[in-house]
Amino acid sequence: MEREELLGLIGTGEGYALDFKESIPSDLGKHICAFANAAGGKIILGVRDDGSIAGYSLSNADEAKINSFARNIEPSIRISIEKIGEFAIIHVPEGADKPYSSGGQFYLRIGSTSQQLKRDEIREFFRKERLVRFDDKPNTGFDFAEDFDKLKFKSFLSRAGITPLSGDKDTLKNLNLLDSGYLKNAGVLFFANSITKFFLNATVVCVLYEGTDKYQILDMKEFNSDILSNFENALIYLRSKLNTKLIINAERTNRLELPEKALREALINALVHRDYFSTGHVQVDIYADRVDISNPGGLVSGLKRKDLGKCSMPRNPLLMDLLLRIDKVEKIGSGIGRMRKAMRGYGLKVKFVADENWFFAVFPRVVPKTVEKPVEKSSEKTVEKIPLDYQETTQKTTQIESKSTRKVPEKYQKIIDEISKNPLASRKELAIALGESEETMQSRLRKLVKEGILKRIGPDKGGHWEVQDSAK
């Protein structure tokens, strides 16, 4: 590997197959073990955790020390060490005799961390799960010239803070998304022009029901774009169908009836932990008394219900790694805990139901009490049920639609059109999509907000746009 190639690899940041160490750590065996139990990887000496260069001069004694760590892995594993300028790379292959242990402890690479697992957990994981992970499998039917969406890829790199290399394939290789020149399934889910061309089951279906069962469907949407768009569109759908309540405190604010943070976590969990070998799909069911978010696959082998919120064993670690890089997934293994905490803030509890085939997150909705109010209809008197908890304060959010015929200059209309397709788009993403600089995009967004055409809902990170008024 040349030095420039190595610097490009460092520029992608730590991840599922890459770890940075300023020098040889005392627990190096733990990290070698974790990579061997996963898909292998590289440990670069001379780089700080934040990606800044520290440099490390590797001595012969250091090489002997590193090899000693590898020999003490049970069973032992053969590594290779490469010196490049002021760096040293420890190449750890995927183990052929899993599971491996270090110091009597078992570790697995999850995201950018090496997580300790119990022996029975990791043995069960390798015994029951398929030897070939779906997300790590090369997709031989994917054609880069025809199927690769460069705009989606550029948007991802921008959100992840990764500087692209001269060739897209070089950057994909550094992200561990290429195998023998083929894009792995994780990359296909993120960057394919048409995801259903490859995976008909990689959709999210959202359904609104009239009552507490599936007898009467009021509305249904199926989202079949890339994995990120499916997540964002499903979240927007949830916002549009749930109630919001006016909270009067220091400031008058509207609050969704269920915590959005919990719903976000449940959706991400469903997408990253689902079994993509299954013909089932992720589904969001909105009933009068609850919201169910379900995914095929059940609990990952080795995990038990009592472990929920304590540790993470992702069925699709490459997907997990990509979502970690753009902050869609936070601390490893903490999603369940964050859902529970967010629901407690609303005085509610989320329920998890799992078997070997399916996993459900069930969010109870507060069913408002009602009062009777006479309503004149023709010459007869009828009774209208009015929710007590939401009188005068409840509103339904609506999907974005054009509300005016006022003419808008084309350069601004393009921004409105792009936001209509993706209300969660950041300023960077809009700039990339429309071929403008960030400064120009910021100026135009400010003007649209000032004119009352756009409205920003929520913070810069985690919020979304709403179109208030646009041209035909």
Rounded CA-CA distance 393/457 in Å is 18
Q: Which helix (H) or strand (E) holds 154?
A: helix 150-160
**Can you give the pLDDT at residue 365?**
92
Q: Which helix (H) or strand (E) holds 46?
A: none
**Can you give the pLDDT at residue 119?**
73
Confidence class of residue 292 from pLDDT cuts 50, 70 and 90? very high
Confidence class of residue 388 from pLDDT cuts 50, 70 and 90? very low
Per-residue pLDDT for 472 more than 50? no
Which tens digit of pLDDT belongs to each residue from 344-380? 988 999 999 887 788 999 999 986 655 455 555 444 4
Contact 359, 295 (CB under 8 A): yes
Span 271-277, mean pLDDT? 89
**Can you give the pLDDT at residue 124?**
64
Cα 299 to Cα 6, 91, 258, distances in angstroms: 38, 32, 24
pTM above 0.85, yes or no: no
- The per-residue pLDDT of the chain, averaged, comes to 82
Per-residue pLDDT for 391 more than 50? no
Q: Minimum mean pLDDT among 109-113, 287-291, 382-386: which range?
A: 382-386
Which tens digit of pLDDT belongs to each residue from 25-52? 999 999 999 999 888 999 999 999 888 9
**Can you give the pLDDT at residue 456?**
84
* Domains of the chain listed by start with CATH number: 3-117 (3.30.950.30), 144-197 (no CATH), 204-364 (3.30.565.60), 410-467 (1.10.10.10)
Per-residue pLDDT for 227 more than 70? yes
**Can you give the pLDDT at residue 140?**
92
Which tens digit of pLDDT belongs to each residue from 307-334? 565 556 678 888 888 988 887 655 455 6
Cα 464 to Cα 263, 400, 430, distances in angstroms: 15, 11, 13
**Can you give the pLDDT at residue 384?**
46
Higher pLDDT: 266 or 398? It is 266
**Can you give the pLDDT at residue 459?**
65
Contact 359, 294 (CB under 8 A): yes
358-364 vs 351-354, strand pairing mode: antiparallel
**Can you give the pLDDT at residue 37?**
86
Tokens of 436: 């403008």
Check the CA dihedral 396-222-158-51 and report its sign.
positive
Q: What is the DSSP string of 330-368?
A: -STT-HHHHHHHHHHTTT---EEEE-SSEEEEEEEPP--
**Can you give the pLDDT at residue 457?**
78
Secondary structure class of 61 (helix, strand, coil) = helix
Span 435-444, mean pLDDT? 83
**Can you give the pLDDT at residue 178?**
93
